[in-house]
A = this chain, B = another copy of it.
Amino acid sequence: MARRRIGVWLIGARGAVATTTIVGLIALRKGLVGTVGLVSELPFFAPLGMVGCADIVIGGHEARAQPLAEVADRLCLEERLFATDVLAGCRRELAKIDKNIKPGTVRRVGPRIESLADVRVRKIQETPREAVDRLRADMQDFARRQKLDDLIVVNLASTEPAVDDKTLSRRWSQMDKRLSQPRKCILPASALYAIAALDAGFPYINFTPSLGSAPRAIQELAQLRETCHVGADAKTGETLLKTVLAPMFAARNLEVMSWVGHNIFGNMDGRVLDDPANKKTKVTSKDNTLKHLLGYQPQSLVSIEYIESLGDWKTAWDHIHFKGFLGTPMKMQFTWQGADSILAAPLVIDLVRLVDAAHQRGEVGVLKFLASFFKAPLGVREHEFSRQFQMLVDWAKGAG
Contacts and interface: CB of A to CB of B under 8 A. Distances in A.
A139 interface: no
Interface string A339-361: 10011011000000000000000
A254 B244 CA distance: 15
Interface in A300-339: 301, 303, 305, 307-310, 315, 317, 319, 321, 323-339
A86 interface: yes
Nearest to A235: B252
Interface in A55-112: 77, 80-86
A308 B319 contact: no
- Chain A interface mostly helix, strand, loop or mixed? mixed
Interface stretch (A27-35, A128-136, A154-162, A168-176): A27-35
Interface of A: 20, 23-24, 27, 33-39, 41-42, 77, 80-86, 240-241, 244-245, 247-248, 251-255, 257-258, 260, 262, 264, 299, 301, 303, 305, 307-310, 315, 317, 319, 321, 323-339, 342-343, 345-346, 372, 384-387, 389
A324 B338 contact: yes
Which interface residue of A309, A323, A325 has the most chain B CB atoms within 10 A? Answer: A325
Contacts of A80: 80
A325 to B, nearest CB: 3
A299 B303 contact: no
Contacts of A330: 337-339, 342-343
A251 to B, nearest CB: 5
Nearest to A44: B251
Nearest to A298: B309
A42 B240 CA distance: 24
A81 to B, nearest CB: 6
Given A36-B323, A330-B339, 13 more contacts: A20-B325, A20-B326, A35-B253, A36-B255, A37-B323, A37-B326, A80-B80, A264-B301, A264-B319, A299-B307, A334-B335, A384-B386, A386-B387
Nearest to A40: B253
Contact of A38 (B264, B309, B325): B325
Contact of A329 (B34, B309, B324, B333): B309
Contact of A299 (B299, B309, B326, B332): B309
17 contacts: A20-B325, A24-B325, A33-B325, A33-B326, A38-B325, A39-B252, A86-B326, A240-B248, A245-B245, A260-B264, A299-B309, A325-B345, A330-B339, A330-B343, A333-B334, A333-B335, A334-B335
A255 B39 CA distance: 11
A101 to B, nearest CB: 21
Given A24-B325, A317-B317, A325-B345, A253 B332 contact: no
Contacts of A372: 251
A244 B253 contact: no
A257 B384 contact: no
A325 B386 contact: no
A41 B321 contact: no
A42 B249 CA distance: 12
B310 A324 contact: no
